[in-house]
Amino acid sequence: MARKRRSVEAFSLSFLDCICCGFGAIILLLVLSKIYEPAILEKTNEDLQQLIAKLQEELFVIRGETDVINTELGRVQLETSDTRLHLRTLQEELSKVQGQYDLINADDPALSLDEGDLRAARQRLTEEMLNLRPFRRTPDDAVGGIPVDSEYVIFVIDTSGSMQAKWNWAEQKLSQVLDVYPRVKGLQIMNDNGRYMFQQYGGTWIEDTPQVRQAIKQQMRQWAPFSDSDPSDGIQYAIENFWAPDKKISIYVLGDEFQGGSMESVLRQIDRVNIEDENGDRRVRIHAIGFPYNFTGTPPTSSQRFAGLMRVLCERNGGTFVALTEANR
C-alpha cells in the first residue's frame, strides 16, 4: 500500500523562530556597539589632546633652544668679525714693521744724521758722592762723552712701532748704558708716555742689584706698551715724580721720532720742571740716544725733529745727545 506524502510548509513556526533569533542577535550587537562607542571616542579625544599638548611642549622647547642657538650664533659672528678686523690691523702693522726692518737693514752712507760716539765711561763715586760734578756742561767736556756722576738713573724709552723694528739695537744700548754705571742707588724704566716697565714699582725707585739688572734686560725683550712718539711727556713725568733735593738723577731718552707739537714749547715745558738754580745747574741731567728711522735717503721730518729737540734739550740740561748711524756703533 502506497504511503501518502506529507506536504512541507516553507514558513513553518520553527523557521520563523530561527529568523527572529537571527534578527534579534543582530539588533543586540548593534545595541552593544552603540553603548561602548562614546567611551571609545572620549578616550581617543583624550589621547589626542595629550599628544597635542606634548607636541606643543616639545615645540616650545625647540623654539627656546633655537633662540639660544641664534643668540650664540650672533655672538660668534660678532667675535669673528672683531677677530678679522684685529687680524687685518695686525697684518697692516706687520707690513709696516717689515718695511721698516728692510729699510734698517739697508746700508746707505748718504744718511745725513749727525754721527755720535757712545764712549765707554766709568762711574766715579765716593761714599757720599761729595765731589759730584755740577749738573752743567763744562767747557772741557768731550763732545762724545757722557757724564756718569749720578746716583739714580731713569730710562725714558720710545716703544712705538718704528722703535720696535730696531728693538734688538735698543736692548743693546740699554745694556751698554747700564754697564757704564757699576752701581747706583736706584733705577727706573718707563716709556715715553710714562708707563712703567715694572708696574709694581711705579712711582718708586728700584733697588740696583745684579738680579734687577738681569730682569730689566729680560723684560726689555718683550716690552711694547703703546707710545705716541713724544718723549716730552715721559721726561716731565719723571722729573716731577722722582726729583728730590738730596738725589743726583740722570734721565736717558732712547727714541727715533718726535711726533709732538712745537719743539720750543717742549723746551719751555721742561725748563719749568727742571729748574735751574743760581749756579746754572739743573735738577736732573738729560741724555738722549737717537736711533735713525732708516739708513736710506733723507730721514723723515719726525726723526729730524727728534734729533734737533734732543740736541738742544741735552745741551740745556747738562747732558749729551748721541745720534747713531750704524747698527754696529
Residue 223: which CATH number?
A: 3.40.50.410
What number of other Cβ atoms are within 10 A of residue 72's Cβ? 10
So what's the pLDDT on residue 23? 75
Of 68, 84, 105, the one marking the end of a domain is: 105
Question: Does residue 94 belong to any structural domain of this protein?
Answer: yes
Element (H, E) at 86: helix 13-105
Of 70, 87, 105, the one marking the end of a domain is: 105
Residue 59 DSSP SS3: helix
pLDDT digits (tens, 9 = 90+) for 43-94: 677 778 888 888 888 888 888 888 888 888 888 888 887 888 888 878 777 7
Q: 102-106, 131-135, 183-187, 246-250: lowest mean pLDDT where? A: 131-135
Same domain, 81 and 159: no
pLDDT digits (tens, 9 = 90+) for 99-110: 655 554 544 443
The total number of structural domains in the chain stands at 2
Structural domain boundaries, residue 267: 152-323
Same domain, 101 and 158: no
Please report the DSSP string for 217-252 in residue order. HHHHTT------S-HHHHHHHHHHHH--TT--EEEE
Q: 134-143, 198-207, 301-310: lowest mean pLDDT where? A: 134-143
* Torsion sign (Cα): 202, 146, 310, 93: negative
So what's the pLDDT on residue 325? 74
CA distances to 11, 46, 82, 85, 141 from 16, rounded to whole Å, are: 7, 46, 97, 100, 152
Q: Taking Cα atoms as reference points, which of 180, 158, 176 lies closest to residue 167?
A: 158
Same domain, 61 and 205: no
pLDDT of residue 261 exceeding 90: no
So what's the pLDDT on residue 86? 81
Question: Does residue 249 belong to any structural domain of this protein?
Answer: yes
Residue 157 DSSP SS3: strand
Same domain, 100 and 157: no
Same domain, 194 and 295: yes
Question: Does residue 30 belong to any structural domain of this protein?
Answer: yes
Confidence category of residue 198, pLDDT binned at 50, 70, 90:
very high
Same domain, 80 and 226: no
Question: Does residue 126 belong to any structural domain of this protein?
Answer: no
